[in-house]
Structure 1
């Protein structure tokens, strides 16, 4: 079975991939890949150096470090099997967590399954979800659905965005899914261009490319 390749997103600012194991497999001799604390501190310093036009105020590097550690600790249990990425356009902006996963085909009808995966017909939506076809250079035409819903715990209005494709090549067939949500709908709206660009980097790659990807 082939695997998800989100290689380009690793170097596509403003994205940061969150490791799911420590030390990272294949990177046991790389210092940054040993612990969440080292990984988070390294990227917090780099984010301030590379993505901010101003110097951090006292404590801001520590704050971003702690935020990244929190995500690194949570990532393995959020959606087992999913790749986890953070959208961080500026070190003072709340990271937007994005999950990317392969999902086994459960429905023969492609359109029905893509609508199910994107929650295009979700009953919890406050208004009709905004559903559009979404073209990927690697995965073909899929669906993108944005919906607003009321959180059960806080009663606040959240936004959820999902992308889904059915990938078929030869004897292989699988669904590809991107999932994200945020309690501030404007946070997702502002990131739309980056999210679409990120979605178009995703592709299916042969298993033999795995080691090359991990070490790049």
Structure 2
């Protein structure tokens, strides 16, 4: 059996992984993995320490702590059971969540059709034709990247959606890999695109025997 390996993405600079359980399994002795409050405080301090352009003004570490806490509590519910990462290159920006998971393949559904459906490549609700591009991963092979503009259901706001998808097949194992991002600010998505591409290329499927043995690439 194999598992969705996001551990290499955890080593990328502007990305923060949000635990899905508290305390995080296997990290019972790590202080910042015990509660969302401790996690938010730890990463808020770390983000400001790593930000070399400016030092925080009074109250800015507390503000970022509260923002990260909100995402820790709310972001996982948007796509339950998906791995959640926050893109945060600047501690004064709002984080951009990215969601990653395996999707079960429907019987008889061919690869290309499945990837177009997962990425909403043919979405009839988009305000203009989605931008559909082939996207290669060193670990997952050829997939799709789709950028689309759409109107939010509860407002007249135009949001931007970005999705990546691949089909993983090895022996008797098969699943589709999906990454989801969305934001009302098109500029936020576009500015992050290079980082998101790098993030996407770290995702891989690993055999069970490697679950406790890994080294960032």
**TM tier, smaller:** over 0.9
Does the 8 Å contact 2:75/2:97 carry over to 1? no
> Following the alignment from structure 2 to structure 1, what is the Cα–Cα distance between the partners of residues 210 and 80?
22
1:48 matched to which residue of 2? Answer: 48
Tell me, which stretches of 5 or more residues in structure 1 are unaligned? none
> Following the alignment from structure 2 to structure 1, what is the Cα–Cα distance between the partners of residues 91 and 143?
32
TM-score, normalised to structure 2, is 0.95
Report the CA distance shift for 1:8/1:88 in structure 2 as closer, same or farther (over 3 A): same
Does the 8 Å contact 1:52/1:90 carry over to 2? no
Does the 8 Å contact 2:147/2:161 carry over to 1? yes
Q: Which moved more, 1:63-72 or 1:74-83?
A: 74-83
1:79, distance to aligned residue in structure 2 (A): 1.5
> Following the alignment from structure 2 to structure 1, what is the Cα–Cα distance between the partners of residues 133 and 72?
32
1:196, distance to aligned residue in structure 2 (A): 0.3
Tell me, which stretches of 5 or more residues in structure 2 are unaligned? none
User: Does 1:206 find its partner at 2:207?
Assistant: yes
2:38 matched to which residue of 1? Answer: 38
Q: How does 1:68-147 map to 2 (within 5 A)?
A: 68-106=68-106, 107-147=108-148
Q: Deviations over 1:112-153 (max 9, x none)?
A: 110000000001100000000000000000000000001111
Q: How many residues align?
A: 213
3-state SS in 1 of match to 2:91? coil
Does the 8 Å contact 1:15/1:85 carry over to 2? yes
